[in-house]
Amino acid sequence: MGQLFAVEVIYRGVFQKTLAKNITRGIVLAAHNEGKLGISFGRYSDAPERNGIPAKSFAIVANDEETLEAGMAQYEPKQVDVTVVLDDTLCKGAESWAWSGLQPVHRALKPGHTLIVISLDDAPALLKNIHRRKEPYKLGIVRGVTSFSGMWVYKDDHTDVRILGAIAKALPAVMSLESVEKFINEKLKNSLKVTTARNAFERFTTIGVKAGEGNPEEVVKVGLPRWEDMRCGVSIKGQGQGGPFADPVTGEVGGFRPVRNELFTKYSARTQRPVVNFATCTKCTLCWLNCPDGAFDITTAGTYDTNFEACSGCGICEEICPVKNCITMVNEDEFHDNNSQWAAFEKDKGAYLKWLEATIKKADPIKNRSHGFRYRGQYQEQVPEAMEIANKG
Ligand code: SF4
Ligand code: SF4
């Protein structure tokens, strides 16, 4: 048997599907230039085509046909030589197959191998989210804003070739920089992209992450139902109506909480989350009525408090809210808990409003929207900014 290499690319479903496909396809075609054989393929989690759902693309490469076939016999590689994370909010973990729980992003990475993350953050900031593991590994950051495009448009900001350049450095046994350049010249026919890939190769460095270093939280585990838990026949469980609940601040029972599907958790589906200014909210109900996930709880005070175990971060509430800057979507990276915003506001209004202002300012949500766009053409406008960061390295 020859040598088998596997690279996985973890990305946000729909928003980054084409980008991930381009990267894994590029790996295979660059490796072909060295006489190696390979295949790239994608695998969605349980909710195909849902915006933002963590998903994976793979490239497997081998020196001979027999080895490649052995690798292809697996549904997906159990161990990989390089893991690439295209959206740094995924460092909190990926919900693969959703209801079986959260998986650390380096779960399949071989000990001592390389995790590549696209981010403007530094390693200590990323390691606040990346779970610790028993084995050491290397962390390499490709500096850049998260590249989102969406279903119908593709933001060609050279993220694909930057990642190829970084992989060539991290795993030269799968493909050299020369093979990446040949692939770009022959298939993409873009000499500027060759330069970008070379720059990424030259700048790419890694740091060693020790065993036990990183986010100490236990990953969320959701047990699969056992056979004796299953009901007879084929049936779809209906959901109840919901009802009053205890206000997180006063404990007073009232308001309204919809019933939510306990099997469909959203620990990692979000790239951004709404931050609500309760001081300017007019209680108009529009956010509650339009939220596709029924994520708002109505408090006894008549305000709408986002329940972050239900919110998928779609941004509709921000768009629909008639009060200027009352709801603002902020990058998920800024948050480390799912606590009630209403409770924080009621506890100390001044402190909450200060926090709100600082959080919104820091994340600059209008400039750095993680996905979705307010007007057509916004993605294209973001390309020069992404290129500038890429050129600075
Ligand atoms: S972002 Fe807003 S509309 Fe979308 S799921 Fe979350 S609370 Fe609901
Ligand atoms: S849409 Fe805006 S103003 Fe209306 S209830 Fe929701 S947060 Fe308040």
Ligand 2 probe mutation, 321, 341, 342, most atoms within 8 A of CB? 321
End-to-end CA distance of the chain: 39
Q: For position 146, what pLDDT does the model report?
A: 86
CATH architecture of 4-222: 3-Layer(aba) Sandwich (3.40)
pLDDT digits (tens, 9 = 90+) for 128-139: 999 999 999 999
Q: Which two tokens stand for residue 148?
A: 């989102």
Are 174 and 151 in contact, with CB atoms under 8 Å apart? no
Non-local CB neighbours of 107 within 8 Å, separated by 6+ positions: none
Bridge partners, 94 (sequence order): 103
Tell the residue nearest (CA) to atom 5 of ligand 2. 283
Are 151 and 121 in contact, with CB atoms under 8 Å apart? no
Query: At which residue do the structure tokens 């469909």 appear?
Result: 264
Tell the residue nearest (CA) to atom 4 of ligand 2. 284
SS (H, E, C) 333-353: HHCCCCCCHHHHHHHCHHHHH
The number of the ligand 2 atom at minimal distance from the alpha carbon of 323 is 3
Q: Which two tokens stand for residue 143?
A: 């500096």
According to DSSP, the β-strands at 137-143 and 109-119 are parallel
Q: For position 191, what pLDDT does the model report?
A: 94
Q: C-alpha distances in angstroms, 386 versus 14, 46, 299, 367, 375?
A: 20, 31, 41, 12, 18
What is the 8-class DSSP label of residue 188?
I
The reply to whether ligand 2 has any atom less than 6 angstroms from the CB of 28 is no
Q: Alpha-carbon Rg of the chain, whole angstroms?
A: 22
Distance 321 CA to ligand 1 centre (A): 11
Distance 126 CA to ligand 1 centre (A): 25
Give the closest residue to 36 by CA, choosing from 79, 2, 70, 71.
2
Distance 315 CA to ligand 1 centre (A): 6
Give the closest residue to 256 by CA, choosing from 267, 268, 270, 246.
246
pTM of the predicted protein model: 0.86
The reply to whether ligand 2 has any atom less than 6 angstroms from the CB of 325 is no
Q: For position 148, what pLDDT does the model report?
A: 84
Q: Where does CATH 3.40.920.10 sit in the chain? A: 4-222
Q: For position 46, what pLDDT does the model report?
A: 47
Q: Which two tokens stand for residue 167?
A: 């992989």
Distance 90 CA to ligand 2 centre (A): 29
DSSP assignment of 72-95 equals HTSSS-SSEEEEEESSGGGGG-B-
| Mean pLDDT, the chain cut into blocks of 10 residues (393 residues total) | 91 89 97 96 64 88 90 84 95 72 91 96 95 97 87 86 98 97 97 96 97 91 76 78 87 90 73 94 96 92 93 88 91 89 96 95 67 64 79 74
Q: Which ligand is nearest to the CA of 370?
A: 1
pLDDT digits (tens, 9 = 90+) for 294-304: 999 999 999 99
Query: At which residue do the structure tokens 């500096």 appear?
Result: 143
101: left (phi over 0), alpha (psi -120 to 50) or beta: left
Count CB atoms within 10 A of the CB of residue 292. 9
Encoded amino acid at 378, one letter: Q
The reply to whether ligand 1 has any atom less than 6 angstroms from the CB of 312 is yes
Pairwise CA distance, residues 4 & 37, whole Å? 10
Q: Where does CATH 3.30.70 sit in the chain? A: 227-262+272-369
CATH number for 227-262+272-369 (one of 3.30.70, 3.40.190, 2.60.220, 1.10.260): it is 3.30.70
The reply to whether ligand 2 has any atom less than 6 angstroms from the CB of 321 is yes
The reply to whether ligand 2 has any atom less than 6 angstroms from the CB of 275 is no
E-strand ranges in the chain read 4-12, 37-43, 54-62, 80-85, 109-119, 137-143, 207-209, 243-246, 253-257, 272-276, 296-298, 304-306, 327-331
Angle (nearest 5°) at CA 59 between 53 and 62? 160
The reply to whether ligand 2 has any atom less than 6 angstroms from the CB of 284 is yes
Indicate the length of the chain as a whole number.
393
